[in-house]
Amino acid sequence: MTVTGEQPLFHHTGAGLPVPFAVAGTGLHLPPAVVTNQDLTRTLDTSDAWITSRTGIRERRRLAPHLATSDMCVAAAGPALEAAGVAPALLDAVVVATYTGDQPLPSTALIVKDALGAHSALALDVTQAACASGIQAVLIAAHLLQNPSITTVLLLAADCASRVTDPTDRTTGVFFGDAAAAVVLTRTDTSGAGLLSYDLGSQLSYGVQIPAGGSRRPTTAGTVAAGEHYLLMDGRAVWNAATTRLPESITNAARRAGVPVGRIRYFFLHQANLNILNETTDALGIPRERAPVTVDRLGNTGSAGLFTALHATVTEGTLAPGDTYVLSGIGAGFQWGSLCLRHG
């Protein structure tokens, strides 16, 4: 399907939430198989220098063929729950952000919940914002925690893009890696912790899409043969949207929170492309070291990307109580968003 002309823009900026919550634990799962740029040159018309200069990516992970996204989620959940001191049976909700679920039905979140033994938890999937699904999932989790009956939410962001990218397509083949990240969010007594503000936006574009497999173009032998179940990406459209929307959205969220951008401790950004990260931090006028980078060694891990950066920082112990930080991402659609939070 082709859509021409400028599509209407949706934009919403929201205030923070009254009930404080905190990141109680994080986890990460990386498949052991590493694919280097040199490995890709054996099957793609590319070079290590070309990939590095245009993406900043040097290597990425690949999930074993017999495993699925839910397996990565379960593996990432374990260390996050252990760090938080939370047993799966005590979880009130399991939220999975992914555009590469195990199968169309049943729910990937339900598969994960069952595997963990989180039998009393609500299972929710956040899917079609692609790489921005994690932002929407945190916002949903934050609102769930405003309910007195919900105290603990496990959020998982995972993508296995190797299953939906054409191995012969240089445009998508060099970018993506497989990974899962987990965050345990709990209510806290720390006043002022949690979500201070948020900014969301969207504008319809088919610049990133998987054309077939839905109700408009159901799966047929023809759609499979034509490669219409692979991810298609217009690199220029992605660059223009990301480098415009991310700085705008972060600025809006910071303004709404009443926190100058320069006083925000960390910016955990969608790990799409090192050049996009650098362009975003330069536009914001902040030191690049305030936006931790994992894309160089993990590739674009979809919705997991910004949480891989969050996990690395939490593990290092450099995110201190009272620090203000931003989560920000953009995904297919295009949909984007930024959350301004205070660490509890």
By annotation, the residues acting in catalysis are: 131, 270, 300
* Residue 289 token pair: 């070291």
Exposed e or buried b for every residue in 30-53, given b needs 16+ CB within 10 A?
bbeeebebeebeeebeeeeeebee
326 by DSSP, 3-state: which?
Answer: strand
Inter-residue contact 6 to 161 (CB < 8 Å): no
d(CA 34, CA 205): 32
Residue 137 contacts residue 157 (beta carbons within 8 Å): yes
Q: Do 193 and 22 meet the contact criterion of CB atoms below 8 Å apart?
A: yes
**How far is Cα 23 from Cα 86, in angstroms, rounded to an integer?**
12
- Of the candidates 108, 183, 133, 160, the one whose C-alpha atom is nearest the C-alpha of residue 298 is 160
**DSSP per position, 153-164:** EEEEEEEEGGGT
